[in-house]
Amino acid sequence: MKKAETVRSILKNGECKIQLLSKREDGSFNAGGKVDAIVRLKLEEPLSVRALIIKLHGYAKTDWNDSVGPNSFRRGGRQEIVNLETKLFKAMSSGVKTYGIGPHEFRVRFDLPQNVPSSFEGSNGFIRYILYALAVTDQKTEMLDPTNVHVICPLDLNFDPINGMPWNRSESRDVGLFPCIAGKVSMTFQVDKRGFCPGETISLFGQIHNNSRMVISYSKCSVVQRIRYLQDKWHDHKEKKTIVSIKHDSTFPGSTDSWNGEELKIPNDVTTNLDHCRLIQVKYTLKLEIKVRFAKTYELLSVVLRMGNVPATKASRMPFRM
């Protein structure tokens, strides 16, 4: 699904341009905050309107192709999130207001609700916020200069104490070629917390013991992003991709693969967990897997991570001990 392109609506008698006034370097606005903008009209001849309205419209949309047997269906849904407007002028009856030749400037402000989801662009859906002007004349209603507004919903990881707490897991698996079992592979792993923000690093401590008669070709730890697009509770489309990973080389029978603080750097541009949207879900998992030579890949660890944009209070990192 393509991103919305920036469009400038050119009037026959001038032009309109909306300038967003964000205090953030990336030009975004916080949910629960204010969206400030300046609307500038530059007219080459008088413009008579019955109404001049500035609107902020936010909505989510999903769309994908679903194949069932020989048939193919278009699936998807739409969720209205916010629809705010400011009337710069609106006639009570048949009256009009005429704006003369030259520049005209209007300052507008919208209060975003606290519980709106962050902006999102995916291959099969999006969450978008559009700011635009509506000029209503006797002949038609024209949309002027639709402008994308990037919204960030603050997701404070400190609201759930578990996000900042260290955790550890132990696991043991039988490996081999079915039906012959070649022995066990066991692991113990520790991470200092489970809530992270884009740009942070995950430090990995642990050991994988190969107590089998087979060679472990490699071990890999990765962060997996899962996106779920929904139409309703019966129809959905899922995507999965690895956003960052580290791989270790072979571990021979009787040997140990040690992880001594290797770091997984989360990319700065990943999407945080999406809250308050019923059509799009984004979740993250930390996964540890091994590939046994001449056998299959085994998943030893799968832990749900919380991706936010306000860092969790980092717990004291404890050295790994067996």
259 vs 322: CA distance, rounded Å: 12
Q: Total domain count for the chain?
A: 2
Say if residue 218 is in the same domain as residue 137.
Answer: no
Tokens 């026959």, residue located: 12
Say if residue 192 is in the same domain as residue 146.
Answer: no
Instruction: Say what the pLDDT of residue 7 is.
Output: 42
| Segment 145-160, tens digit of pLDDT | 889 999 999 898 988 8
Residue 195 three-state SS: strand
The pair of three-digit structure tokens given for residue 36, joined into one six-digit string: 């400030």
For 23, the domain range is 10-152
Q: Is residue 211 predicted with pLDDT exceeding 90?
A: yes
Q: Is residue 313 part of a domain?
A: no
Q: Is residue 229 predicted with pLDDT exceeding 50?
A: yes
Q: Is residue 142 predicted with pLDDT exceeding 90?
A: no
Question: Which of 152, 172, 196 finishes a domain?
Answer: 152
Say if residue 140 is in the same domain as residue 178.
Answer: no
Confidence tier at 11 by pLDDT (50, 70, 90):
low
Higher pLDDT, 113 or 5: 113
| Segment 42-60, tens digit of pLDDT | 888 888 888 889 999 999 9
Say if residue 181 is in the same domain as residue 209.
Answer: yes
Instruction: Say what the pLDDT of residue 240 is.
Output: 94
Say if residue 148 is in the same domain as residue 171.
Answer: no
Q: How far is CA 308 from CA 48, 134, 231, 268, in A?
A: 48, 36, 25, 12
Q: How far is CA 158 from CA 121, 267, 315, in A?
A: 26, 21, 11
Once rounded to an integer, what is the mean pLDDT over residues 71-95?
85
**153 close to 31: Cβ distance less than 8 angstroms:** yes
Confidence tier at 322 by pLDDT (50, 70, 90):
very low
Instruction: Say what the pLDDT of residue 320 is.
Output: 40
E strand intervals along 149-269: 151-152, 167-175, 183-191, 195-196, 201-212, 216-230, 236-248, 256-265
Q: Is residue 18 predicted with pLDDT exceeding 60?
A: yes
CATH number of the domain enclosing 210: 2.60.40.640
Per-position b or e across 31-68, b if 16+ CB within 10 A of its CB: bebebebebebebeeebebbbbbbbbbbbbbbbbeeee
Choice among 18-22, 72-76, 208-212 with the minimum mean pLDDT: 72-76
Instruction: Say what the pLDDT of residue 314 is.
Output: 58
Confidence tier at 5 by pLDDT (50, 70, 90):
very low
The answer for residues whose C-beta is within 8 angstroms of residue 228's C-beta and 6 or more apart is: 236, 237, 238, 239, 280, 281, 283
Question: DSSP assignment of 39-74, as one string?
Answer: EEEEESS-EEESEEEEEEEEEEEEEEEEEETTEEEE
E strand intervals along 115-166: 120-121, 125-136, 141-148, 151-152
Instruction: Say what the pLDDT of residue 288 is.
Output: 94
Q: Is residue 243 part of a domain?
A: yes
Residue 157 backbone dihedrals phi, psi, to 5 degrees: -70, -15
| Segment 242-292, tens digit of pLDDT | 999 999 999 999 999 999 999 999 999 899 998 889 999 999 999 999 999
**Cα angle: 233, vertex 234, 237; to 5 degrees:** 90
Q: Is residue 10 predicted with pLDDT exceeding 80?
A: no
Q: Closest by alpha carbon to 246, among 254, 257, 231?
A: 257
Q: 317: which DSSP letter?
A: P
| Segment 88-138, tens digit of pLDDT | 887 766 678 888 888 989 999 999 999 999 999 999 999 999 999 888 877
C-beta atoms surrounding 161 within 10 Å = 12
Once rounded to an integer, what is the mean pLDDT over residues 11-40?
88
The pair of three-digit structure tokens given for residue 86, joined into one six-digit string: 């400011």
Confidence tier at 8 by pLDDT (50, 70, 90):
very low
Burial of residue 322 (CB within 10 Å: 0-12, 13-18, 19+) is exposed
Question: Which of 124, 152, 180 finishes a domain?
Answer: 152
Say if residue 184 is in the same domain as residue 68.
Answer: no
